[in-house]
């Protein structure tokens, strides 16, 4: 098959016109499972790439469904395992923009302690916390690391740090708050045991940190935030003002569409879900949305796509190496290399296939197809992320949506694809009033320090 042919077909399939039912995703169907049952390599390639498309009408159906689940969750009408919305704090958690001081921020993954100067909007000192193989001693190791950190940085941190009743406020930032409900108490107990003059005053996830950092620096109204990183995706939005004023609500939307109504599920997604259900004991289809967005999910979907095409002799002349067949072997960094390769002969893709996957020689047609597959998987993730942005502004109103995470900040072309898809969903007039802005990893830590300052 000519490479140009499959590239042309897949590029035109992505852009369905407004109000037009896509021939690939009928409006009346539930989420189809795209299982390849083809008789030729050409058809196998076409079917796989079609299954990864998310045209505009499909995006709109997913956005409508997500908005509905958010509304139900906000009204506590959600079913167990669906989208969950809850207040980020018992009191309003919206910065004024005038906060100052130096605060400590404990980052759980990887375990690091930081000193953050809010007025500078910067981390002024960082130390890695040594790992421990003894879970019972973990928090004592953390407390000891905080103590050493203050001693080692007596002049630049300890002397400058904001103190409340003689103690330095500390915020804990995690990427997955649902699994660390007791972490703030555990950290405080360990600090008290060592008589470290530090008090854990706030526990926030990375999305709340993202929101706070953006809200403190931006002159525009921040209405929502989301993270898209290697292992998780979460969101936050400002609820409409009530008697106590506006509230920042956090969203766990990893299990969006658990019933399988609207998401573009492929046979690769089903395989990823089946393995996850076995290894994590999650219910089937739990976290399907997250697996389509996060770095680990993108990489595993790409690996399975290569295996599927090779099995049908559409790729690598049917060759399947041990590396290609190993679950979890491909990484987001591998996909980034493939996406970023703009050389005419895709020389970086050739090197990666040879050195990482043991496939040599890989023909130019093979390399082009590998890049096309990876691009489609990345584009699907970007368009689904745009759905998230759309649903958030539907909940909170027009303004700025702040986004962070390694997929967002480092994956080639991801931001541009998300913003383009947001414009598709909103239309040009409304899109002029919505902005999607980036918050770097350091900014998330600044957001944690802001949470400590407001505690």
pLDDT of residue 147: 94
pLDDT of residue 448: 92
Residue range 163-184: average pLDDT?
79
Residue range 2-16: average pLDDT?
41
Residue range 324-337: average pLDDT?
96
User: Does residue 84 register a pLDDT over 90?
Assistant: no
Per-residue pLDDT tens for 91-136? Answer: 666 777 778 899 999 998 778 999 999 888 889 999 999 888 888 8
Most confident of 24-28, 50-54, 173-177: 50-54
pLDDT of residue 251: 92
Q: Give the ranges where 312-431 is alpha helix by DSSP (H).
A: 322-325, 332-340, 347-355, 364-396, 406-410, 414-426, 428-431
User: Does residue 81 register a pLDDT over 70?
Assistant: no
Mean pLDDT of the chain: 85
pLDDT of residue 52: 96
Cα 316 from Cα 275, distance rounded (Å): 25
User: Does residue 11 register a pLDDT over 50?
Assistant: no
Cα 52 from Cα 266, distance rounded (Å): 7
- Burial degree of 416 (CB within 10 A; 0-12, 13-18, 19+): exposed
pLDDT of residue 283: 53
Cα 255 from Cα 394, distance rounded (Å): 20
pLDDT of residue 23: 25
Per-residue pLDDT band for 237 (boundaries 50, 70, 90) equals very high
Per-residue pLDDT band for 175 (boundaries 50, 70, 90) equals confident
Residue range 196-220: average pLDDT?
91
User: Does residue 10 register a pLDDT over 60?
Assistant: no
Q: Which domains does the chain have, with CATH numbers?
A: 102-209+444-454 (3.30.420)
User: Does residue 216 register a pLDDT over 90?
Assistant: no
Cα 424 from Cα 17, distance rounded (Å): 10
User: Does residue 267 register a pLDDT over 80?
Assistant: yes
Per-residue pLDDT tens for 285-317? Answer: 567 898 999 999 999 999 999 999 999 999 999
- Least confident residue range of 92-101, 154-163, 300-309, 374-383: 92-101
What DSSP string describes 240-255?
A: PPBTTB--EEEEE-TT
User: Does residue 155 register a pLDDT over 90?
Assistant: no
């Amino acid at each position: 098959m000519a490479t140009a042919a499959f590239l042309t077909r897949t590029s035109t399939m992505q852009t369905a016109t407004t109000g037009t039912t896509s021939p690939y995703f009928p409006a009346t169907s539930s989420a189809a499972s795209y299982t390849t049952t083809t008789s030729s390599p050409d058809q196998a390639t076409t079917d796989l790439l079609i299954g990864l498309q998310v045209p505009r009408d499909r995006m709109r159906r997913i956005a409508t469904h997500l908005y509905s689940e958010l509304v139900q969750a906000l009204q506590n009408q959600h079913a167990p395992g669906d989208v969950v919305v809850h207040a980020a704090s018992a009191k309003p958690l919206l910065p004024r923009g005038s906060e100052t001081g130096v605060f400590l921020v404990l980052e759980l993954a990887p375990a690091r302690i930081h000193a953050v100067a809010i007025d500078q909007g910067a981390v002024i000192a960082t130390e890695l916390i040594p790992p421990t193989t003894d879970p019972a001693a973990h928090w004592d190791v953390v407390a000891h690391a905080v103590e050493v950190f203050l001693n080692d940085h007596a002049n630049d941190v300890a002397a400058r740090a904001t103190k409340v009743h003689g103690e330095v406020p500390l915020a804990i930032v995690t990427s997955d708050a649902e699994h660390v409900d007791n972490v703030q108490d555990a950290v405080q107990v360990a600090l008290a045991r060592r008589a470290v003059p530090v008090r854990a005053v706030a526990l926030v996830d990375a999305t709340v940190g993202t929101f706070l950092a953006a809200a403190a620096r931006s002159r525009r109204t921040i209405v929502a935030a989301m993270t898209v990183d290697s292992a998780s995706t979460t969101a936050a939005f400002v609820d409409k003002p009530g008697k106590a004023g506006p509230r920042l609500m956090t969203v766990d939307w990893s299990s969006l569409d658990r019933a399988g109504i609207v998401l573009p599920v492929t046979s690769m997604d089903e395989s990823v879900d089946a393995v996850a259900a076995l290894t994590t004991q999650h219910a089937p289809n739990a976290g399907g949305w997250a697996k389509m967005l996060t770095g680990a999910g993108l990489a595993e979907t790409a690996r399975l796509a290569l295996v599927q095409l090779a099995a049908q002799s559409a790729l690598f002349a049917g060759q399947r190496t041990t590396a290609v067949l190993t679950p979890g072997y491909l990484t987001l960094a591998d996909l980034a290399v493939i996406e970023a390769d703009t050389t005419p002969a895709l020389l970086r893709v050739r090197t990666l296939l040879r050195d990482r996957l043991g496939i040599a020689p890989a023909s130019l047609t093979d390399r082009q197809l590998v890049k096309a597959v990876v691009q489609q998987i990345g584009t699907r993730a970007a368009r689904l992320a745009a759905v998230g942005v759309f649903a958030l502004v539907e909940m909170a109103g027009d303004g700025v949506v702040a986004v962070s995470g390694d997929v967002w900040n480092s994956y080639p072309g991801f931001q541009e694809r998300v913003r383009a898809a947001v414009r598709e969903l909103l239309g040009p007039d409304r899109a002029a009033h919505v902005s999607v802005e980036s918050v770097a990893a350091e900014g998330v830590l600044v957001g944690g320090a802001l949470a400590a300052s407001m505690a």
